[in-house]
Amino acid sequence: MKDEIFDKYLADILSKKDTGVEKPAAEALKEPQSSSEDLGETARQEELEDFAEKTIRLSSSEAADFSKVKRAPATAPENKPEQKPRKKKVRKANYSAYGGLVLATLVLCTSVIISLFVIVVGRDFLGLDTNNNSFTLYIESGWNVPQIADYLAENGIIEYPEVFTQFAKLKLRGGGAVYPGDIDVEPSMSYWEIIDLLSEAREAHETVTVTFIEGITLYDAAELLEENGVCDAEEFIFAFNNNVYGLGFESRVSSSSLKFYKYEGYLFPDTYEFYVGDSVYNIVKKIKEHTDSVLSEDIIARATEMNYTLDQVITMASLLQLESGNAEEMKNIAAVFYNRLNNPGDYPRLQSNATDKYVGFIKSMSSISYQEMYDAYDTYVCTGLPVGPVCNPGLAAIEAALYPAENSYYYFCSDQDGKFYYAETYEEQLANQEAAGIGV
């Protein structure tokens, strides 16, 4: 095939030469102008060689393409049915399963919440797992059911006043009524039992008024309650020092083993009205709640500002209360004590006569000597403040402990008329004692 193409091409060139056909103008411009016959022959020779090379490459390419062509089969193929390509399956998300799982979870959570609510409210409704302390509460005339429910909740008898209100309205729907007056209730009572008590006409309990003076001790207060028929003195002292009501001041009272009474100093002196024959739990609760209302956040904040604890401030106030009943003098005495506390190197002890009586009282209460406790209260022996209060101070003494006067005194004394003398030095103190008629 190459020979045929080559011969054809050669013949074509020779024919053009013989016939005198002119070359295109573009090719004529590319070639150099020469009249020499040898130059024309050389150009034709190069053109033939170039054509031959292109022809060989073209033939090789055609041969390669031809080799790629598949031969037709000798026999005709069988007529098989045309198979359609399979479509790839797309797995769809099972949203219904997810939805069912979410719904089941919601139902389960809701059931648990409802169950817990029923259990908690049910226990309060039935009075389960609560204390058996008895309370005497006075129901005011004209109170409606919601007011009574709130009053019961405030006194710790019930926990859910709204639930109590609904049950009371349901029980009293047939024409029942609630009556004013005193009722004896316990947290262990069910809602039905309390509503039954409220539905009964009753007489008011007998009450008694008791006044605790400023500076009274816990022991003397207990004796006074027993004398007025309120409760037993020993039971009161035990309950006062051991019962905890979750009040703010209770956690701020130190629990030193050297204290004779833990809560001495926290029976706030005032006039109280008690039911005759009331429970000690109820009586102590009333007194401590009143004390807690007096020991406000402002008092605690001021004590903190002074770098003293509440227990230390009440201890200081108990000393001031017994040293003087005059508010101004208590502030001056407080300054003397704080001056000593701030200069422990020269004045390590407060030397207050107020603690002598309390140490004597402790000794009289026990047949067993406990010298370490005596020394912890004796300000002529212990360093700084005594271990705890030695009486129950009033508000004026507490304020004097929080806001003392400003002076530079380290000593004081008083005469029989209640006149006070102050001194900066021991020599001045000796002279003051002579003037006050006090033997050294």
- Is residue 69 very low, low, confident or very high in pLDDT (cuts 50, 70, 90)? very low
Q: How many CA atoms lie within 13 A of 94 on its CB side?
A: 4
Mind listing the pLDDT tens digit for each residue in 229-267?
999 999 999 999 999 999 999 999 999 999 999 999 999
Q: Return the domain boundaries, the chain.
A: 1-20+43-57, 102-205, 207-294, 305-435
Question: What's the rounded Cα separation, in Å, for the pair 347 and 425?
Answer: 11
**Predicted pLDDT at 120:** 46
- The greatest distance separating any two alpha carbons of the chain, rounded to the nearest whole angstrom, comes to 170
**Predicted pLDDT at 204:** 73
**Predicted pLDDT at 124:** 45
Q: Could you give the percent of the chain with pLDDT greater than 90?
A: 53
Q: Could you give the percent of the chain with pLDDT greater than 70?
A: 70
**Predicted pLDDT at 407:** 96
Question: Does pLDDT of 377 surpass 60?
Answer: yes
Q: Tell me which of 200 and 212 has the higher pLDDT.
A: 212
Amino acid identity for residue 81 in this structure: P
With CA atoms as reference, report the closest residue to 313 among 293, 329, 298, 328: 298
> CATH homologous superfamily for 102-205?
Endolytic murein transglycosylase (3.30.1490.480)
Pair 263, 238: CB distance under 8 Å: no
Question: What's the rounded Cα separation, in Å, for the pair 383 and 81?
Answer: 114
| Non-local CB neighbours of 111 within 8 Å, separated by 6+ positions | none
Number of DSSP helices (H) and strands (E) in the chain, helices first: 17, 6
Mind listing the pLDDT tens digit for each residue in 310-342?
999 999 999 999 999 899 999 999 999 999 999
Q: Indicate the range of 17-21, 181-185, 288-292 predicted with least confidence.
A: 17-21
Put residue 388 in one of left, alpha, beta given phi > 0 → left and psi -120 to 50 → alpha: beta
Handedness of CA 216, 218, 224, 225 (dihedral sign): positive
Report DSSP letters for 234-298, one per residue: HHHHHHHHH-----GGGGGS---TT-SSTTTT-S--SEEEEETT--HHHHHHHHHHHHHHHS-HH
